[in-house]
Amino acid sequence: MSGGLLVAGTTSDAGKSVVTAGICRWLVRQGVKVAPFKAQNMSLNSFVTTEGAEIGRAQAMQAQACRIEPTALMNPVLLKPGGEQSSQVVLLGKPVGEMSARGYHGGRQQRLLGTVLDCLEQLRGTYDAVICEGAGSPAEINLRRTDIVNMGIARNAGLPVLVVGDIDRGGVFASFFGTVALLSPEDQACVAGFLVNKFRGDVSLLEPGLDMLHGLTGRRTYGVLPFRHGLGIDEEDGLRVSLRGAVRESVVAPPVGEDVLRVAVCAVPLMSNFTDVDALAAEPGVVVRFVDRPEELSDADLVIVPGTRGTVRALEWLRERGLADALVRRAAEQRPVLGICGGFQILGEHIEDDVESRRGHVDGLGILPVHVRFARDKTLTRPAGEALGEHVEGYEIHHGVADVQGGTPFLDGCRVGQTWGTHWHGSLESDGFRRAFLREVAAAAGRRFVPAPDTSFAALREEQLDRLGDLIEQHADTDALWRLIESGAPQGLPFIPPGAPA
């Protein structure tokens, strides 16, 4: 078998990432050597590969679905928003500068097409199949001229396109039809058909609409995936605790001890890698919520200040909302606080930033004895070490360089009283360390909470990926999907007017 497929969507968040992961897991269970690919990703949730390249976490998750190591080839262009008008451009895993949306779409994006196609070709030369994920909608006609992630990549690489629609939002038939009808004849020829996502109810009630859609477009529907809780793992952006749904909403796991443990995560602007809290939410008896008001910290047993792409901006936001004062009071009262990456920097004494915000000297919250200086080169590593008597692994993505001037060493950061700070993302995915940390938090908070002795975050993730594979295997026409991946879009698909505007 040798082939490929582009999974596009009628909208952002239609389910492209999870459908791509599900197809990957289904294929690898059939013995197919498969890899994921997304030409261009816009996300604040990223990951560091073993070679020190930064890519979107969704592609890292999809690589895990394929049971392979993620590489920079799988996500050659990553855009990390730094505000309303600009993003950091990460090319082949390394930052190459900041650029406005107008500047990027005005020429830079199209010049990256050769790089993107070369990465895809390398993957196709190594794997039996490459399952590609689009971005947003392929019918964004204002951006088609410079598109390198949807129909631009499909046309140039000869990929069939499967359009995913979220029926839970409503209007899925209009979205399917409109998506095709706004494409040029050449682009329409690549669109093989549709996949309905998040359907609730009796599929037989949907079938007349699917038949009419086929009659109107000449394109079939390759499957209707039922709504399932907790499948949004490693979201690109948004406020979602991915594994919490799988644990809380399927089988309710009671706490092992007498108490639950309440975790409040400060929803700072440009929050990055909020997936760090997924491992906490997977623990029976741990309740995680995102907060933006100081009174919401009062009953929390642990407060987390997460990573952010705008450390100084997040610090100002905490001060404006009164959360900064609440954090300082918490620390003084010896109530647990954890700062991760940008959150760690915020907890320090001062920040010298001539790179990210260009604000120069800025006073931090002064909770930890740390001075932070922003360097132009980004730190991208996969560290491992020991903390609280347990082995820990993580990954680092930051421009801030921390000069720790006191406290007790904690990973690469420090601890003072019940306040911890580290640049390490993903440390809480280390099961033994997570349990030891939660025991410390529970003791400091006076809670009779006991971590479950057998929670394996890696096993939960594998279960979730298998659930995605099951969805494809049980609710998609896998024979037709196989032919599509192997042979491309059917010949002679009709043109649906009006097509793209001239």
Question: Which letter does DSSP use for residue 418 in this model?
Answer: T
Residues pairing with 163 in the sheet: 8, 194
Cβ proximity of 292 and 328 under 8 Å = no
425 is catalytic: yes
Greatest distance between any 2 Cα atoms in the chain: 71
Which has the closest alpha carbon to 314: 266, 359, 360? 266
Strand partners, 384: 393
Which listed residue (398, 423, 425, 475) is catalytic? 425
Question: Is residue 79 within 8 Å of 42, Cβ to Cβ?
Answer: yes
The verdict on whether 132 is a catalytic residue reads no
Tokens of 65: 């679905």
203: which DSSP letter? G
Which candidate, 61, 3, 6, 68, places its Cα nearest to that of 35?
68
Give the β-pairing of 129-133 and 34-37: parallel
Reference 284, options 256, 251, 312; nearest CA is 256
Separation between Cα atoms, residue 228 and residue 250, nearest integer Å: 9
Choosing from 190, 266, 341, 414, the catalytic residue is 341
Q: Which amino acid is at 36?
A: P
Q: Could you tell me where the beta strands, DSSP code E, fall in 82-160? A: 86-91, 94-100, 129-133
Let me know: does 336 contact 71? Beta carbons within 8 Å.
no
Residue linked to tokens 């995605």? 468
d(CA 230, CA 242): 6
- Quick one: which of 193, 180, 183 has its CA closest to 224? 193
Per-position b or e across 318-349, b if 16+ CB within 10 A of its CB: beebebbebbeebbeeebbbbbbbbbbbbbbb
Q: At what angle do helices 16-29 and 457-475 cross, to 10 degrees?
A: 90
C-beta of residue 237 within 8 angstroms of C-beta of residue 45: yes
How big is the chain, counted in residues?
A: 502
Answer yes or no: are the C-beta atoms of 75 and 59 closer than 8 Å.
yes
Active-site residues: which are they? 341, 425
